[in-house]
């Protein structure tokens, strides 16, 4: 009954309009059928912008009854000062207006699909009798929201994709509407996110940038390619890449973005690997520059050994051994530019640590540091002996540099869970230090890209092991884990 009453009321208003222009009942019937069959919504308004007639489809577009619209003022329902200006120009000029992909906000309810902002192709035509001034307005609207969404962001209205979209109030910075992917990306339900302001979610470091973007949007300028970090419900921050199209007449902005957190992490890892590659290239140049002077020094020391009366033969022999070891280090750095074959054989890490103790003690003595060994039984492993010696030496020297003068260096070995473990720990002496060791890793937790630690990381990676740095109140520790099974498999492969 309600629908019949609404229809009769609307058609009566249209019939009055037909009678006013002097048309017959047959023309009324013909025009009425024509309007009802159109694929566009049709409405007739008086010059005060009140609805005299609306077609069935026009009411369906707004998801209301026809009777709800007839007699109502257009700008009580939707529109803005911009549309009011268009209406006034049409009346004053007696010329039609056409708009395409035009956004309108229906003020009564959210409309279909929960969208308070929808897009229309629409036309406003002045109607007059016998060439007089306009007496009525013919309004034709077609809802093209779905088409616009498909053209501008094909995936953004799908709930199972990562494209995020929404509409914000640029004055208050609050969300008006958004798609399900947006709420899922932030971990909130749609109800929790509705009406939330960007200022509540933005990373404090990005608040100034957000205010700059909102200021541009309030001036009607669109923003493209801005990166902002928003806080998820679990307090984790995610990075988003946004583009915002301002609709200044409505005071809103259409937002499309995507979560780029994982991409940024990948870029960071790639950057780290690029630094490794650059160090390899630098090592090649530096290594070749060092070889000639090292060879010259070694040759000079060998000449001194030929003199039987030279009193410091033992010191010269030690110096030659150190030069040989330095040459080996240079060769290893040259290998950073690419994989080199390992000369693996069965060795025991305890033997390597004990053999290197005198050399480590020399380095420690220069800084008035103490060295303590705590070795436990270990299985033999398939290792490149020279690589392991360089690993231990570089770790010890790096720790000694970090703890400063007067500290203690502890080397501990152990076997746990199928892995040989090497712990190198540095303890600060408060009498010689301010209490905080120099960090050997950057803020992001990755190992520092210094030559010593980088070289150690490279060696450990070759054996599919792991290396971790732990900073403590009075020192720091480096823990290296080498899988025994992997090294045994390498030994078997080498023997074959």
Residue-range domain boundaries for the chain: 2-147, 153-259, 261-340, 341-496
pLDDT at 5: 33
Please report the beta strands in 287-440, taking only residues with DSSP state E, as ranges in sequence order.
344-347, 370-374, 381-384, 408-416, 419-427
Question: What angle, rounded to 10 degrees, do the helices at 349-366 and 385-403 form?
Answer: 30
pLDDT at 110: 39
The third-level CATH classification (topology) of the domain covering 261-340 is: Helix Hairpins (1.10.287)
CATH topology identical between 2-147 and 153-259: yes
pLDDT at 31: 56
Which region, left, alpha or beta, applies to residue 410 given φ > 0 means left and ψ of -120 to 50 means alpha?
beta
pLDDT at 283: 63
Dihedral, 113, 115, 117, 118 alpha carbons, nearest 10: -10
DSSP state of 293: H
CATH number assigned to the domain covering 153-259 = 3.30.450.20
Where helices occur in 94-152 by DSSP H, the ranges are 145-152
Pairing of strands 223-231, 237-247: antiparallel
Nearest to 358 by CA among 327, 325, 331: 325
pLDDT at 365: 77
d(CA 218, CA 239): 24
Q: Distances from the Cα of 18 to the Cαs of 80, 96, 101, 129, 246, in angstroms?
A: 30, 20, 31, 11, 41
Residue 77, judged by CB atoms within 10 A of its CB (0-12, 13-18, 19+), counts as middle
What would you report as the CA-atom Rg of the chain, rounded to the nearest whole angstrom? 39
pLDDT at 153: 44
Q: Which residues pair with 117 in a beta bridge?
A: 105
CATH number assigned to the domain covering 341-496 = 3.30.565.10
Is there a contact between 281 and 337 (Cβ–Cβ < 8 Å)?
A: yes
pLDDT at 421: 93
DSSP state of 439: P
Instruction: State the 10-residue block means of pLDDT for the chain, 496 residues long.
Output: 35 48 49 61 87 82 81 77 78 83 58 54 77 78 71 41 66 76 80 78 86 83 80 86 73 78 66 62 64 75 76 81 80 58 80 86 79 91 86 87 86 91 87 56 42 75 87 84 69 49
CA 165, 142, 156 angle in degrees (round to 5)? 15
Which SS3 state, helix, strand or coil, does residue 412 take? strand
Q: Which CATH superfamily is domain 2-147 in?
A: PAS domain (3.30.450.20)
pLDDT at 130: 58
pLDDT at 279: 64
Is there a contact between 66 and 6 (Cβ–Cβ < 8 Å)?
A: yes
Q: Distances from the Cα of 33 to the Cαs of 36, 39, 125, 154, in angstroms?
A: 5, 12, 19, 36
Which region, left, alpha or beta, applies to residue 43 given φ > 0 means left and ψ of -120 to 50 means alpha?
beta
pLDDT at 82: 62
d(CA 42, CA 139): 6
């Amino acid at each position: 009954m309600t629908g019949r009453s609404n229809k009769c009321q609307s058609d009566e208003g249209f019939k009055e309009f037909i009678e006013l222009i002097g048309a017959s009942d047959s023309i009324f019937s013909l025009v009425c059928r024509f309007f009802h069959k159109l694929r566009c919504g049709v409405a007739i308004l008086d010059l005060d912008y009140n609805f005299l007639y609306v077609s069935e489809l026009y009411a369906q577009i707004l998801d209301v009854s026809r009777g709800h619209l007839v007699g109502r003022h257009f700008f009580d329902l939707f529109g803005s000062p911009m549309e009011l200006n268009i209406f006034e120009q049409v009346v004053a000029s007696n010329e039609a207006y056409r708009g395409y992909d035009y956004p309108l906000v229906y003020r009564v309810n959210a409309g279909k699909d929960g969208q308070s902002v929808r897009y229309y192709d629409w036309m406003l035509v002045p109607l007059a009798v016998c060439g007089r001034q306009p007496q009525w307005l013919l309004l034709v609207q077609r809802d093209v929201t779905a088409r616009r969404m498909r053209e501008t962001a094909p995936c953004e209205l799908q709930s199972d994709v990562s494209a995020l979209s929404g509409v914000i109030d640029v004055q208050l910075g609050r969300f008006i509407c958004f798609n399900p992917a947006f709420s899922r990306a932030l971990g909130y339900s749609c109800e929790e996110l509705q009406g939330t302001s960007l200022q509540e979610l933005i990373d404090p470091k990005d608040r100034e940038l957000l205010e700059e973007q909102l200021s541009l949007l309030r001036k009607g300028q669109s923003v493209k390619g801005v990166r902002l970090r928003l806080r998820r419900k679990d307090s984790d921050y995610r990075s988003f890449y946004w583009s915002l199209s301002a609709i200044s007449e409505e005071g809103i902005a259409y937002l499309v973005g995507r979560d780029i957190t994982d991409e940024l992490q990948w870029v960071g890892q790639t950057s780290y690997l690029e630094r490794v590659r650059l160090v390899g290239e630098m090592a090649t140049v530096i290594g070749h520059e060092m070889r000639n002077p090292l060879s010259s020094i070694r040759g000079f020391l060998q000449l001194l050994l030929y003199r039987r009366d030279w009193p410091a033969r033992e010191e010269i022999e030690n110096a030659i051994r150190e030069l040989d070891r330095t040459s080996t280090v240079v060769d290893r750095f040259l290998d950073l530019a690419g994989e080199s074959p390992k000369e693996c054989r069965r060795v025991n890490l305890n033997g390597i640590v004990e053999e290197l103790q005198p050399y480590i003690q020399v380095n420690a003595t220069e800084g008035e540091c103490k060295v303590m060994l705590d070795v436990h039984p270990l299985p033999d492993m398939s290792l490149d002996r020279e690589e392991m010696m360089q690993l231990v030496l570089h770790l010890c020297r790096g720790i000694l540099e970090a703890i400063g003068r007067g500290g203690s260096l502890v080397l501990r070995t152990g076997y746990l869970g199928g892995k040989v473990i090497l712990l190198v720990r540095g303890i600060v002496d408060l009498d010689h230090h301010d209490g905080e060791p120099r960090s050997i890793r950057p803020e992001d937790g990755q190992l520092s890209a210094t030559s010593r630690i980088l070289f150690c990381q490279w060696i450990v990676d070759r054996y599919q092991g792991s290396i971790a740095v732990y900073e403590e109140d009075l020192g720091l520790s480096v823990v290296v884990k080498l899988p025994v099974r992997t090294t045994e498999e390498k030994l078997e492969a080498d023997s074959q």
